[in-house]
Amino acid sequence: MVSPIIGSSEVKPIIAFHEVSKWYGNVIGINKLTLEIMPGVCGLLGPNGAGKSTLLQLATGQLRASQGRVEVLGERAWNNPHLNRFIGLCPEQDALYEWMTGQQFIQCCAQLAGLNARAAKAKADELIETVGMTPYRHRVVRGYSKGMRQRIKLAQALVNDPKVLFLDEPMTGTDPVARRDLLEIIRALANQGKTIVVSSHVLYEVQTLTPNVILMNHGRLVAQGDIRQIRDLMDKHPHRIVLVGRQCRQLAAELLDYPDVVGLRLGADGASVMLETLRPDDFYARLPSLATGHPWSIDEVFSEDDNLDAVFHYLVDQ
Amino acid sequence: MTPNPVPVQQLPAKTPQTAGKADVSLARSCWTLYRLSLGQHRHGRRWIGTLALTLLPMLIAIIIRSTDPYAAPGSMEFGLVFMLIPQGLLPLLALVYASGIIQDEQEDQTITYLLVRPIPKWMMYLIKWAAALTAAEILAMAAIVLTYAAIFCGTHGASGSFIHLAERCLVACTVHGLAILAYCGIFGLMGLVTQRVLVIGILYTALFEGLFANTPFNLRMITVIYYARLLIYRLLPHHAKPGLRVHSTTANTWKFITAGDPNLKLYPHNWVCVTVLLSTAIFTSALAGWICSNREFYVKTPNKTD
């Protein structure tokens, strides 16, 4: 059965949650959530434990709603393998078939999606090039860096040329270069007309992709709409960013000179530095240049969600 | 290691091959999943363990023959091929491969890549079950053939012609193959309904297949090994000849009452035995497939619970 939305030019919600609740035993993952996601890019924001991954797992049919109805492209999401022909998921967990090469993994995923061997190889070649992994395609996945793994995970989500793409924290733990590249890839996919839902606990990652965001906390919808209104609230709170790499002491010394960095703490092991900034946009824009051509290296970037959490508390209290 | 700074390419325009959905086929998805699952069995430390298990009966036979040149091949065949393999090796192989059909993917967190493909979950289970069965069967067959070779190689026809021994080996492979089919069904189902499948599986093997099967009561009719033994007893001729010492040893060991019933006519017929073993495999795997299609598979997300 093909939904009337698939192939239709009429603008309807691509993803719809109607009074959806999801419990894990006594723990509530999603609490009476009603929302509609229209075509385009949508950011799904919330601190850890907000219910973002649960929402994505419900939308991709991996979980069954305890209550309510989840529809994607007009079809029931749960237990609907037909729908999987039209959706792609880049999962959050850092798991791959470790013994395979990048090429084999993508090819295997393409064949799992139903492509024949020749088409799967062509698709794998195309996607590996798209995510900038061509020089490393024949390397075993086990030896990939975090950024490479994220790229490969993104590539596997595209093997069936999905209409709807779910990206669960796609930038987590990546270095600045990979982060920039992944954002570019996602933007390019959005320009192709795909509906993309990107979850993140970092507002500044999402805002470069879309002004359209959904804010969640404790399994509830806190706000939905334009990111700028949320930004205004967030800028009152310092934003914490953790940089992981080598020679972090020198990196910290350099960061002290930046006027927008209002706080700095070197990790106990000397392999990380946590900074606080009131102008995260400026800092993120500077990250790629900060990561190259210096004696230090930045291997991973994490954004702590304290300020986002604070805003959620503020919004919930309103 | 830092990721490569290769510039991101402009996404290519859709080609008919990639844009169309008509090129996809469920059969290809299933075949790929089968090959992927078989490939998974070839990797990891488990492979070393199961290989060691497979070679164990053969090694025991070699050790016995090298330490006791007069060891009777018939006794060794009984002890290794008809006791050790069906009671120890087959359930363990089935347990190792079938119990992790879904659990392994969950633990490795790779199940997501399967759940978002257009393969129904019940079918996913059955395909992975078939792959587990294939792996277990291959190793079991290898164990039987190697053990026969270790027992009879160089006996210069004293135990029968090569053809005769090959026939015995073939019958043993067939009966044990049926047993492992049933075991895979049981342990596959167990792997879906319990988290501690290895512990429970070993307890099952020891209690059910070990203890109950060796009692002279009808309780043994709920064991797999009982039906395999009946088939072996009847189908492998020199064990079925009444009056031979090895025959009475076999009957005594397996608690078959042969007085007045040397061919076990009062016991379930061969076709019943085959039907029970096949039905066990079909019923348990169908039930597991049904459970699977209604089951949610939780995958831990890193450092959090959402």
More confident residue, B220 or A229: B220
C-alpha to C-alpha distance for A109 and A131, rounded to whole angstroms: 16
pLDDT tens profile B113-140: 999 999 999 999 999 999 999 999 999 9
Q: What percent of chain A has pLDDT over 90?
A: 47
Query: Any CB–CB contact under 8 A between A53 and chain B?
Result: yes
Query: Any CB–CB contact under 8 A between B10 and chain A?
Result: yes
**pLDDT band at residue B18 under the 50/70/90 scheme:** very low
**Predicted local distance difference test score (pLDDT) of residue A312:** 64
CB contact under 8 A, A145 and B1: yes
C-alpha to C-alpha distance for B253 and B248, rounded to whole angstroms: 8
Query: Any CB–CB contact under 8 A between B1 and chain A?
Result: yes
List B residues 137-176 in contact with A (Cβ-Cβ < 8 A).
Answer: none
In angstroms, what separates the C-alpha of A232 from chain B's closest C-alpha? 27
Q: Which residues of A134-155 are buried (b: 16+ CB within 10 A; e: fewer)?
A: bebbeeebeebbbbbbbbbbbb
Q: What mean pLDDT comes out for the span A223-234?
A: 74
C-alpha to C-alpha distance for B1 and A297, rounded to whole angstroms: 10
More confident residue, B69 or B152: B152
What would the two tokens of residue B105 be? 């993917």
**Predicted local distance difference test score (pLDDT) of residue B1:** 37
User: How many other CB atoms are there within 10 angstroms of residue A275's CB atom?
Assistant: 22
Return the residue of B nearest to A298 by Cα.
Answer: B2
Site of tokens 């009982």: B226
**pLDDT band at residue B146 under the 50/70/90 scheme:** very high
Does the structure show a pLDDT above 50 at B12? no
**pLDDT band at residue B205 under the 50/70/90 scheme:** very high
How does the average pLDDT of chain A come out, rounded? 86
User: How many other CB atoms are there within 10 angstroms of residue A282's CB atom?
Assistant: 13
C-alpha to C-alpha distance for A116 and B25, rounded to whole angstroms: 8
C-alpha to C-alpha distance for A227 and A76, rounded to whole angstroms: 29
More confident residue, B292 or B255: B292
Q: Which residue in B9, B18, B28 is closest to A114 by CB distance?
A: B28
In angstroms, what separates the C-alpha of A279 from chain B's closest C-alpha? 26
Q: Which fold has domain A237-317?
A: Alpha-Beta Plaits (3.30.70)
Query: Any CB–CB contact under 8 A between B114 and chain A?
Result: yes
Based on C-alpha coordinates, what's the Rg of chain B?
A: 23
C-alpha to C-alpha distance for B48 and A299, rounded to whole angstroms: 36
**pLDDT band at residue A266 under the 50/70/90 scheme:** confident
Q: Are A206 and A43 contacting, i.e. CB atoms less than 8 angstroms apart? A: yes
Query: Any CB–CB contact under 8 A between A111 and chain B?
Result: yes
Q: Which residue in B26, B299, B303 is closest to A114 by CB distance?
A: B26
A126-130, A223-227, A256-260, B102-106 — most confident range: A126-130
C-alpha to C-alpha distance for B213 and B227, rounded to whole angstroms: 10
**Residue spans per domain, chain B:** 79-294
What's the longest Cα–Cα distance across chain A?
61
Spell out which residues of chain A touch residue B117, defining contact as CB-CB under 8 Å: 81, 84, 109, 112-113
Spell out which residues of chain B touch residue A147, defining contact as CB-CB under 8 Å: 2-3
CB contact under 8 A, B296 and A64: yes
Spell out which residues of chain A touch residue B14, defining contact as CB-CB under 8 Å: 161
Q: Are A96 and B112 contacting, i.e. CB atoms less than 8 angstroms apart? A: no
Burial class (CB in 10 A: 0-12, 13-18, 19+), A268: exposed
**Residue spans per domain, chain A:** 91-161, 237-317
Return the residue of B nearest to A166 by Cα.
Answer: B116
Reported as type and span, the H/E element at residue A35 is strand A27-37
Burial class (CB in 10 A: 0-12, 13-18, 19+), A132: buried
Global pTM exceeds 0.90 = no
pLDDT tens profile A30-87: 999 999 999 999 999 888 888 999 999 999 999 999 999 999 999 999 999 999 999 9
Q: Report which of B195, B197, B189, B194 is spatially closest to residue B122, judged by C-alpha positions.
A: B189
Phi, psi of B130 (to 5 degrees): -60, -40
CB contact under 8 A, B33 and A175: no
In which order are the strands placed within the sheet that holds A239-246? Answer: A261-266, A272-277, A239-246, A297-303
Does the structure show a pLDDT above 90 at B174? yes
CB contact under 8 A, B6 and A82: no
DSSP letters of A227-240? Answer: HHHHHHHHTTSPEE
Query: Any CB–CB contact under 8 A between B16 and chain A?
Result: no
Q: Are A156 and A100 contacting, i.e. CB atoms less than 8 angstroms apart? A: no
Q: What percent of chain A has pLDDT over 70?
A: 89
In angstroms, what separates the C-alpha of B248 from chain A's closest C-alpha? 52
List B residues 185-244 in contact with A (Cβ-Cβ < 8 A).
Answer: none
User: How many other CB atoms are there within 10 angstroms of residue B277's CB atom?
Assistant: 23
C-alpha to C-alpha distance for B24 and B10, rounded to whole angstroms: 25
Return the residue of B nearest to A120 by Cα.
Answer: B18
List A residues 174-203 in contact with B (Cβ-Cβ < 8 A).
Answer: 174-175, 177-178, 181, 184-185, 188-189, 191-192
In angstroms, what separates the C-alpha of A71 from chain B's closest C-alpha? 15
**Predicted local distance difference test score (pLDDT) of residue B241:** 45
Q: Which residue in A54, A99, A113 is closest to B29 by CB distance?
A: A113
Q: What mean pLDDT comes out for the span B48-60?
A: 93
Q: Which residue in A108, A177, A299 is closest to B36 by CB distance?
A: A108
CB contact under 8 A, B17 and A119: yes
Sequence-ordered alpha helix ranges (H) in A113-161: 117-130, 146-157
Q: What mean pLDDT comes out for the span A110-136?
A: 94
C-alpha to C-alpha distance for A164 and B177, rounded to whole angstroms: 45
DSSP 3-state assignment of B236? coil
How does the average pLDDT of chain B come out, rounded? 84
**Any idea of the CA torsion for B90, B91, B92, B96, to the nearest 10 degrees?**
110
Query: Any CB–CB contact under 8 A between A69 and chain B?
Result: no
Among the residue ranges A80-94, A115-129, B10-24, the one predicted with the least confidence is: B10-24
Spell out which residues of chain A touch residue B289, defining contact as CB-CB under 8 Å: none
Does the structure show a pLDDT above 50 at B270? yes
**Predicted local distance difference test score (pLDDT) of residue B13:** 46
Query: Any CB–CB contact under 8 A between A94 and chain B?
Result: yes
**Predicted local distance difference test score (pLDDT) of residue A158:** 95
In angstroms, what separates the C-alpha of A235 from chain B's closest C-alpha? 26
Phi, psi of A27 (to 5 degrees): -90, 135
What would the two tokens of residue A96 be? 């791959």
